[in-house]
Amino acid sequence: MSDVILKVENIETYYGKVAALKGISFEVRMGQIVTLLGSNGAGKTTTLRTLSGLLFPTTGKITFMGEDITRMQPHEIVKRGLIHLPEGRHIFKDLTVTENLELGSFSLKDEAERKRRINAVFDRFPILGKRNKQMGGTLSGGEQQMLAIGRGLMAAPKLLLMDEPSMGIAPLVVRDIANIIRQLHKDGTPILLVEQNAKMALNLADYGYVLDIGNIVVQGLGLDLKNDEDVVKAYLGGHKAYTQMV
């Protein structure tokens, strides 16, 4: 049996008449962290939105856990365990921490299992347990990101799509987020990671793909891409900017 859990084949996605993705292909295997890198406008977020059903590709095929999900509705994709944590966190600021987490398991009928999952999130993020009755909007940026990740975990993901988890977070907290991603991976959750912080992403990733204007232009092991000065200079903001990243 193949260990490929996500296979993307020749996907093209348009915004109107503009091609945002131009026939990209890649895969994620069981137990991997795979990262998508590139500058703003390269197509990274569009890729995640296409995978989660928020956008439909014009051509190509997306296979998840052996099933064709190319034109499946977002709620059906969520039920299958493909969970998208969007850029900007998008927590419900006027709901409590616990209420936010409950919404992450909207399709779950077993109340005992829902409580078990909430307790598991609090075990992973003790600060959320301490603030379980606090409104989401009163949390710090790092705590909101933990809440967004916890809400995703409530759906028992088979694959997490993470879009810019370090965005808008203090540098010291970015290290905490990196450690959270590392621990999720260690616990067996495969992750497809989109990150502007290329150095952090490549420190975490088993494998990486570099996008440029809707095309995959470079791919390789995370360590190889991290040490390739030509790739860093051409696609990841230049050597000076790259070495300053966390």
Domain ranges, ordered by start, for the chain: 1-74+158-164+190-246
Are the CB atoms for 77 and 64 separated by under 8 Å? Answer: yes
For residues 125-136, b (16+ Cβ closer than 10 Å) or e, as one string?
Answer: beebeebeeebb
Are the CB atoms for 113 and 121 separated by under 8 Å? Answer: no
pLDDT at 13: 97
Are the CB atoms for 41 and 52 separated by under 8 Å? Answer: no
Give Dmax (Cα) for the chain: 53
Q: Measuring CA to CA, which residue among 211, 191, 203 is closest to residue 227?
A: 203
Pick the CATH number of 1-74+158-164+190-246 from 1.10.579.10, 3.40.50.300, 1.10.10.10, 3.30.420.40: 3.40.50.300
- In the chain the beta strands, taken as DSSP E runs, fall at 4-15, 18-29, 33-37, 59-64, 67-68, 82-85, 159-163, 191-194, 207-212, 215-221
- Cα–Cα distance, 148 to 88 (Å, whole number): 9
pLDDT at 87: 87
pLDDT at 237: 67
pLDDT at 205: 96
- What is the residue whose two structure tokens read 């993705």? 21
pLDDT at 244: 44
Burial zone of 210 (CB within 10 Å; 0-12 exposed, 13-18 middle, 19+ buried): buried
From first to last of its 246 residues, the chain has per-residue pLDDT tens of 579 999 999 999 999 999 999 999 999 999 999 999 998 889 999 999 999 999 999 999 999 999 999 999 999 999 999 999 988 878 999 999 999 999 998 878 899 999 999 999 999 999 999 999 999 999 998 899 999 999 999 999 999 999 999 888 888 888 889 999 999 999 999 999 998 888 899 999 999 999 999 999 999 999 999 888 888 887 776 544 444 444
* Structure token digits, residue 102: 């409950």
pLDDT at 240: 43
